Amino acid sequence: MKRITIIPALVILLTFAFISMQVAEAQDHSSSGAGNSAPANQVQQGTRFLIGLDSDLGTKGSKHGDAFTAHTLEPLIAADGTGLPAGTEVRGHVDKVEAAGKTGRARMWLAFDDIKTPDGWMPLIAMVDDVPGVHSVRVNYNREGEIEASTTKRQEAIQEAAAGALVGATPGMMDKNQKEAAMGAAAAAAAAYMVAAGLGQEVTLEKSTKLELILERGLNFPRT
């Protein structure tokens, strides 16, 4: 008789435990789903947008800490319709500069500080992703938005040819005139190699240059 009464009790306990687990799992899914969805008043992380520079920047004249301003070229709108129109002011500064000098490749990094809203300045955490329309520079996103002098496929072909000429122009003859001619050819090949490789070229971003930024942190606007 004891067995008969114990078995139904065990069944009830197991059923209750199973139901409790299902409810807890449903609550977990609900809470995790809510955590993954961005607030309706947020322009989400990863959003790309264009800005235009208000002044010239470059590795030749700019230095670490120099402040600059820009303005958005398209609106930043959250899901609930709040946001900022095109023409909104952005403030930033030059984070790091590596001038080209005579043999190096110029590099520059820009940092963005804040963006103007009707309620004041809001922190802006973003990185340069591209410089559209400017073929003399390129952006390496994997190096924290590094902007550097770039080379084209044609330049790369010239670079390879110049490298070959540099190797073939090694002075190896006894005659003085022939030696001087070979050394001159080697110097010319070295100069061509540097130009083709983008070495010695400074990075210049003129006023109104377009920069494509990517948000590294979402922008949360006050709820209306």
**Domain 42-150+202-220 bears CATH identifier 3.30.300.20:** no
pTM value?
0.64
Which structure tokens are listed for 127? Answer: 């990185």
Segments making up each domain of the chain, as ranges = 1-35, 42-150+202-220, 153-197
Return the exposure string of 82-105: e unless at least 16 CB atoms fall within 10 Å of the residue's CB, then b: bbbeeebbbebebeebebbeeeeb
Q: What is the pLDDT of residue 172?
A: 52
Quote the pLDDT of residue 195.
47
- Residue with token string 């340069």: 128
Residue 129, φ and ψ in degrees, nearest 5: -110, -25
pLDDT in tens, the chain (224 residues): 444 455 555 445 555 555 555 545 555 544 444 445 778 999 999 999 999 999 999 999 999 999 999 999 999 999 999 999 999 999 999 999 998 875 578 999 999 999 999 999 999 999 999 999 888 888 986 777 899 987 644 444 444 554 555 555 555 545 556 656 555 555 555 444 444 444 568 899 999 999 999 999 999 998 76
